[in-house]
Structure 1
Amino acid sequence: MAINLQKGQKIDLRKSSGEALTNFCVGVNWGAIETTKPGLFGIGSKKVIEDVDLDLSCIMLDQNGELVDWIYSPEYNAWLSQNKFPLGKLTSNDGGLRHSGDDRQGDVGGDDGLDNEIITVDLNRVSNNVDKIFFFLNIYLNQGQNFDFSQIPFAKIRMYEGTPTRVNSVFSNYDIVTDSSYRGKGALILGKLYRRNGEWKFDAIGDPTDDKLFIQTIQKITQNYK
């Protein structure tokens, strides 16, 4: 049975059989904002779909809390280069974490049962100098947009065994939009994988922030969550 995570909860990465969970996906599933507005001259109605662009990212720190690697969307590389920030990439240097790519819309017409953005994790391939892996989520607002987590019809995070296109067994999940503390917020520090006594564990941090850019969230993590 999947674990329904609570903010601040710490869990061992072990299956019900007692076997260590080393290969899994961290996925985020969300819906586009769909509204109904009056038609032309007030006749009838029409459905209006507003794309919702959530960005799932992660960074890797060593035992001293120093940044050693990262995964975030390369879609922003032109801006990152201009501002002298490290460029985005979808695969960690050791190949232990892989991102499925940027989804800029969300599900239309209801939940399709699959996650929109997924980071696949193979802990056996993660470099020995990586001590913590932080996962975080940011809403990218296109021009003219102004919304937060509370306005998204659904947004869920889960850890599961499988692939980006197939869910075999859900290990844990967390529902974002039902948490009132995320109202008015557009960024979320989801949680961290960390080493303890030779084993990997998971801490469901669940802290919302007011960050407008994912670079701000990275700075917040490296300064306050070591």
Structure 2
Amino acid sequence: MISLSKGQKIDLTKTNPGLTRIMVGLGWDLNKYDGGNEFDLDAVAFLVNKDGKATGDGAFIFYNNKQDPSGSIVLSGDNRTGEGAGDDETIKINLAGVPADVEKIAICINIHEADTRNQNFGQVANSFVRVVNDDNGEELLRYDLSEDYSIETGLVAAEIYRHNGEWKFSAVGSGFQGGLGALAASYGLSAG
């Protein structure tokens, strides 16, 4: 298993011949929060074309739209507490089935209703993204989001993207503010 740092990129399919089905696991813990509200983090994915824009309305994968129109990218259920060890939410990707116009899949974590609940990533600890070969359960890589995100309400955690006919993984770790609407708008979608 390879451990990545922010900004690193690694090949997925070239070094793992025959790899077609992966599971992206996202996990987190709360380190200090007693505001009386539920603290609900959500995994979100955007299917993005070569121009950096979402490929259509079905290209926004979240708790109300758990798979893309091709069925090649599927989000697990909505874990509303982050309790326990291991993955809190997962996204399964059939790399061979991803539509040809999708250049990259942006994997994000968003705090649900962060502004109204006065929550941010400064209250979250031990966040990680990992990629597992879904055929044999082997963990291929892990990226621990160890940076101190104090005011951000969401993260673009990683990107899985095409490069010369192969799939690669990029450890992005970029925080953002403004909720799901702002994130969707950055990919050319309205979240209304």
Match of 1:156 in 2: 128
Aligned to 2:180: 214
Match of 1:112 among 70, 80, 85: 85
Structure 2 distance, partners of 1:217, 1:162, is 28
Q: Secondary structure at the match of 2:117?
A: coil
Q: CA deviation at 1:220?
A: 2.2
- Which structure is richer in relative contact order (CA contacts within 8 A, separation 6 or more)? 2
CA distance in 1, matches of 2:52, 2:115: 35
Correspondence 1:29 to 2:21: no
2-side partners of 1:214 and 1:186: how far apart? 9
Contact 1:32 1:51 survives alignment (8 Å): no
Q: Counterparts in 2 of 1:74-223, with a 5 A limit?
A: 74=64, 89-107=65-83, 111-113=84-86, 115-141=87-113, 145-162=117-134, 168-176=137-145, 178-180=146-148, 182-211=149-178, 213-222=179-188
Q: Is the 8 A contact 2:54 2:187 kept in 1?
A: no
Which has the higher Rg, Structure 1 or Structure 2? Answer: 1
Aligned CA RMSD, in angstroms, stands at 2.8
Q: 1: distance between equivalents of 2:166 and 2:79?
A: 32
Contact (CA 8 Å) 1:61, 1:132: kept in 2 or not?
Answer: yes
For 1:33 and 1:64, the matched residues in 2 are separated by: 38
Counterpart contact for 1:31–1:52, Cα < 8 Å: no
Q: Deviations for 1:65-94, whole angstroms, at most 9, x for unmatched residues? A: 3321221121xxxxxxxxxxxxxx101111
In 2: Cα distance, 1:34 partner to 1:124 partner? 41
> Aligned partner of 1:152: which letter?
V
- Residue identity in the other structure for 1:5: L
Q: Is the 8 A contact 2:30 2:123 kept in 1?
A: no
Report deviation, 1:99: 0.5
Contact 1:34 1:49 in 2 (8 A): no
Superposition TM-score, scaled by structure 2 size: 0.83
Residue 179 of structure 1 deviates from its aligned partner by 1.2
Shift of the alpha carbon at 1:57? 0.7
Structure 2 unmatched ranges of 5 or more = none
Identical positions, percent: 30
In structure 2, the partner of 1:8 is 7
Gaps of 5+ in 1: 37-47, 75-88
One-letter identity of the residue aligned with 2:130: R
- What is the distance in 2 between the residues matched to 1:205 and 1:34? 25
Q: 1:204 to 1:149 in 2, by over 3 A?
A: same
Deviations 1:119-175 (A, max 9, x none): 101101111121121111111136863232232243222111248xxx822111122
Q: Does 1:71 align with 2:57?
A: no
Asked whether the equivalents of residues 149 and 185 of structure 1 are also in contact (C-alpha less than 8 Å), the reply is yes
